[in-house]
Structure 1
Amino acid sequence: MTTQVDDIRMQVMWNRLISVVEEQALTLLRTAFSTSVREAGDLSAGVYSAHGEMLAQAVTGTPGHVNTMAEAVGNFLAAIPREAMFPGDTYVTNDPWLGTGHLHDITMVTPVFAAPSSSEAVAQDNETLIGFFACTAHVVDVGGRGFGADGKSVYEEGIQIPIMKFAERGDVNATLVQMIRANVREPDQVVGDFYALAACNDVGRDRLLEMLEETGEADLERLGAFILSRTEAAMQERLAALPKGRWSYEMVTDGYDAPIPLRAEVVIEEGRVRVDFTGSAPVSRWGINCPMIYAKAYAAYAIMCVVAPDIPNNAASLAVVEMTSPENVVNAPRPAPVSLRHIIGHMVPDVVLGALAQALPGQIQAEGAGALWNLHLSVRPVAGSAEGRRAEVLMFNSGGMGARPTLDGISATAFPSGVHTMPIEATEQTGPIVVWRKELRPGSGGDGQYRGGLGQIIEIGAAEGHEFEFSAMFDRVHHAARGRDGGGDGAPGVVQLDDGTQLKPKGWQFVPAGRRLILKAPGGGGFGPPEQRDAAAREEDQRRGYTDNTDETSDTQER
């Protein structure tokens, strides 16, 4: 039986453990080579018990990475037996079905062994495994067709790394590094990110051992039990206050060459929430499919946003959400193409929230832009040019969030992924491109008592003497974000050249030298009847230029 002093001590250690994983994540941010990690925070980091249960995660990171990684660590433990684990090991995979959903995400797991006694060295066979650190990051290239939806199977999408050892007893697998270098377009950048991932786990391990030595704890067993039991009790208390029943919702997304309906039924019952995606579109022949591990991550995130936004995210909080689905676009089996699994995965929260809006009327935000407006550019010198360079450039952009029951939607913000938009200056340093314009898109937020968040306008051209191909991975072009409770829809997205030529929202396309690509990211839906919007709020919208429709003109505005 624990005492109040014991509980206070455990809470202090819990806070310390969170600071450990924050330092782990910061190490990755500071050492990563890719701007998607260093500038946008497209990563996750966490600490796990010896049984593979997630105990704490870093605040920096995306739900799609963190929540899939919570399950992925168990897959590592199933693949690598305890007797094959040694101090100094680091394990790696980018398997979409065992990791975080597509080949571009590299997941690394590092075992933590108790520090040897200072009086005598501990024999190798007697090392005590006390936990794991894991991290994930999106790398700029994994070979294949490149980051896009055009592959017809996962085999076309890049190099596949099964769960294996990146390092054993501190020695890096040189053969694996050679294989990676031979299969990617940016070998130094990609391999640099591999080492950054390994380093961040090492920092977490070292800080954890320091913490345990200071506190006199031999392992994570007592602290882990405290964290998970307190979290479970808090989650059950929140679930008990929810209405019980079942509600369903359907939403249509653009797809690749045909619309993709997504349907979810949410069942709230004693002690758990079940989400079923029966009725969603079948598996696509294009690379927008989503492995279930990724769809489940975002379904759980949507429920946590509503039910327990202030409760720590760990194995106990995630355990109350169950997801089921037949084989379909949110449960795509191997070897379906899955490179752009975020296109569907980032839409999952709006579908789940739509069902919850019926259970909790007046309490759930409107639909938003959802999927990131990612952009992968392959830049090259114009044929015959004496100067220039090739480069692979990855850029993240965001549309607007849906309006909330008491607040306007947030503009140009990545919900649900939470990644940052990369600064223009950092993006331009990675390759010969120029970002001529990046600004809020007036008039794109849905009208309502509370206005939807605005999208943004981005105008990009190749530097002089260069041209580029780009992989379009955009949604909400043909199916705008819908308003809620009487709110208006957000503006749909637009993809075009500066001469007005309309381009496809998905797939590899060409932008010749001298032309510019213009992206108009979609806005979020409004909430509540427009006639109930406060007059002062409307005046403020006009003063700030939020409601002008100037973005629909053909004029371009240079920075």
Structure 2
Amino acid sequence: MSDQTRDIRMQVMWNRLISVVEEQALTLLRTAFSTSVREAGDLSAGVFDPQGRMLAQAVTGTPGHVNTMAEAVLHFIAEIGRDNMFAGDTYVTNDPWKGTGHLHDITMVSPSFLGDDLVGFFACTAHVVDVGGRGFGADAKSVYEEGIQIPIMKFAERGTVNADLVRMIRANVREPNQVVGDFYSLAACNDVGHRRLIAMMQEIGLTSLDALGEFIFTRTHAATLQRIRALPQGTWANTLATDGYDAPVTLAAQVQISGDQVNVDFAGSDPASRYGINVPIIYTKAYACYALKCVIAPDIPNNWASLALFTISSPENILNAPRPAPVAVRHVIGHMVPDLVLGALAKALPGQVLAEGAAALWNIHMSVRPVAGQTGRRAEILMFNSGGMGARPGLDGLSATAFPSGVMTMPIEATEHTGPIVVWRKELRPDSGGDGQYRGGLGQVIEIEPAPGHEFDFSAMFDRVNHPAAGRDGGGAGAAGVVALDDGTLLKPKGWQHVPAGRRLILHLPGGGGYGAPSARDAEARAEDARQGYVTGKQP
């Protein structure tokens, strides 16, 4: 066949491969037990070649899962060994340094065989509601306190589930049915991907994915390389202050664009913390590469070849925390990495990079129980919430939007269904977006009360309380976050705390920074802000 005909055929097969991983991800969404997966899409799914190189990823998924998974599969291959892989196998881990950065994320990898030949791997990741230990919070002093650790091992061999592993999990978590159910959902997700891939290969007459993989990688590599070569050459640095746990933490990055590669180095960042806000380098890499792709190659598919041109380095510090550092809420600092890297890129590419935003999700984990002497229901409830994005060159920031994580909003009804709480209010927070030619996105106000006869402890995993999102090119800062009870008592932005019966927890989520001088904002845009109630002129 002609080269043009071959290319068209390969492109059709590439599209088919993407549809396979999309169905893989949808299987997990439809069968998951945890609301963080089912409602928020806190997951990833992808297909890999026999060498463990990511061919395609599902659109549904977070950069922290997708890009760590791209590296994790190589660890699975190295530890399981090709001679110990069989049709019907599924492998599992929640190792923070070989998976996705903390114990609450479960990564599963399954080999895909066509007859006796290994043709690829499917991998998926999801956040589960509990892994035992201290629970989902920053209070632990080592990873050993944070929950059950599952080294890379077999969840199933030749189709038979490891019953002893399931029993161990059930004995170590507070919500065994939800957690074990999610394990089976993850395994089913990979199984669906495998069956669809084999059906596709048999239909088309493929005996391997080698030719398709070469087509995907060569084109992606060439397209990404072209973008990098068009960039200015040099080195640009940036620092960013975050709230930390009990003291501010400074993050530092240096972006070097040289020849055919872009490297980000995190030397100069503060040392690892005593608390669980540390970030394993695999997670730091994931979000640093995401920031680079957002600016340099946002429209180029995310796979092994496009990621290979971005390199990440760091000495041991809070962004390259060594084992056994506590890492349970590594996302709070990890979600700041894109703003940190984008701040350096803004110096290389002025006028092309958005302002800082809320960045870190305002996750809240509630452990609800009946008040002493009362009957009621116990429950572990995880809720994802988003502040405002930074304003963009030419556009206002998006409100209540999860950037950079990309997870979806969790409906109040679904959250209340999981346990005895009442969410009285969840609305946009007026005046929280930074002023500028383009306004920063708004945060939210969320009000939560234990149901009658109940109380709850909650794990605060919040930032931008003491260090709000900065504006860009003259734009104003977004509003800082606030954590308080309804009687005005201020609470800490991190750590386990108590909400007694009859009291309400009120969260004021931070807004995004503005872009450009406020004096340049269009008069009609200001009038529309007032009409919509986005800006009232009062203190946020």
TM-score range, shorter chain: over 0.9
Alignment of 1:351-370 (within 5 A): 351-370=340-359
Give 1:418's match in structure 2, choosing from 399, 403, 406.
406
Deviation at 1:270? Answer: 1.1
Residue number in structure 1 paired with 2:245: 256
Residue number in structure 2 paired with 1:205: 194
Residue number in structure 1 paired with 2:208: 219
Residue number in structure 2 paired with 1:138: 127
Residue number in structure 2 paired with 1:446: 434
Residue number in structure 2 paired with 1:284: 273
* Secondary structure at 2:130 match in 1: coil
Number of aligned residue pairs: 540
Output the CA distance in 2 between the equivalents of 1:402 and 1:9.
Answer: 41
Give 1:537's match in structure 2, choosing from 525, 533, 536.
525
Deviation at 1:219? Answer: 1.2
1:379-433 superposed Cα distances (whole Å, 9 cap, x missing partner):
0000001x21100000000000000001000000000000011000000000000
1:87 partner letter: A
Residue number in structure 2 paired with 1:122: none
2:334 partner letter: G
1:35 aligns with 2:35: yes
Output the CA distance in 2 between the equivalents of 1:166 and 1:551.
Answer: 53
1:87 aligns with 2:94: no
Output the CA distance in 1 between the equivalents of 2:536 and 2:340.
Answer: 30
- Extract structure 1 runs of 4+ deviating beyond 6 A: none
1:25 aligns with 2:8: no
* Secondary structure at 2:506 match in 1: strand
1:62 aligns with 2:62: yes
Deviation at 1:189? Answer: 0.3
Structure 1: runs of 5 or more not aligned: 117-126, 553-559
Alignment of 1:239-318 (within 5 A): 239-318=228-307
Output the CA distance in 1 between the equivalents of 2:141 and 2:24.
Answer: 37
Output the CA distance in 2 between the equivalents of 1:28 and 1:202.
Answer: 11
Output the CA distance in 2 between the equivalents of 1:354 and 1:520.
Answer: 25
* Secondary structure at 1:495 match in 2: strand
2:500 partner letter: P
Output the CA distance in 2 between the equivalents of 1:24 and 1:487.
Answer: 42
Alignment of 1:461-472 (within 5 A): 461-472=449-460
Output the CA distance in 2 between the equivalents of 1:97 and 1:91.
Answer: 16
1:514 partner letter: G
Output the CA distance in 2 between the equivalents of 1:375 and 1:359.
Answer: 36
Residue number in structure 2 paired with 1:193: 182
Contact between 1:477 and 1:493, CA under 8 Å: does it hold in 2? Answer: yes
1:404 aligns with 2:372: no
1:416 partner letter: P
1:496 aligns with 2:484: yes
Output the CA distance in 1 between the equivalents of 2:260 and 2:311.
Answer: 11
* Secondary structure at 1:162 match in 2: coil
1:188 partner letter: N
1:79-126 superposed Cα distances (whole Å, 9 cap, x missing partner):
011110000000000000000000000000000001x3xxxxxxxxxx
Output the CA distance in 2 between the equivalents of 1:26 and 1:338.
Answer: 29
Deviation at 1:550? Answer: 6.1
1:14 aligns with 2:2: no
Give 1:176's match in structure 2, choosing from 158, 165, 169.
165
Distance 1:344 1:170, change over 3 A: same
Output the CA distance in 2 between the equivalents of 1:163 and 1:218.
Answer: 29
1:433 partner letter: I
TM-score calculated relative to the size of structure 1: 0.96
* Secondary structure at 2:498 match in 1: strand
Contact between 1:442 and 1:549, CA under 8 Å: does it hold in 2? Answer: no
Residue number in structure 2 paired with 1:322: 311
1:29 partner letter: L
2:192 partner letter: V
Output the CA distance in 2 between the equivalents of 1:236 and 1:473.
Answer: 38
Deviation at 1:355? Answer: 0.2
* Secondary structure at 1:92 match in 2: strand
Output the CA distance in 2 between the equivalents of 1:478 and 1:192.
Answer: 39
Residue number in structure 2 paired with 1:119: none
TM-score calculated relative to the size of structure 2: 0.99
Distance 1:551 1:379, change over 3 A: farther
Output the CA distance in 1 between the equivalents of 2:291 and 2:427.
Answer: 28
Residue number in structure 1 paired with 2:469: 481
Deviation at 1:549? Answer: 5.7
Output the CA distance in 2 between the equivalents of 1:308 and 1:275.
Answer: 16
* Secondary structure at 1:541 match in 2: helix
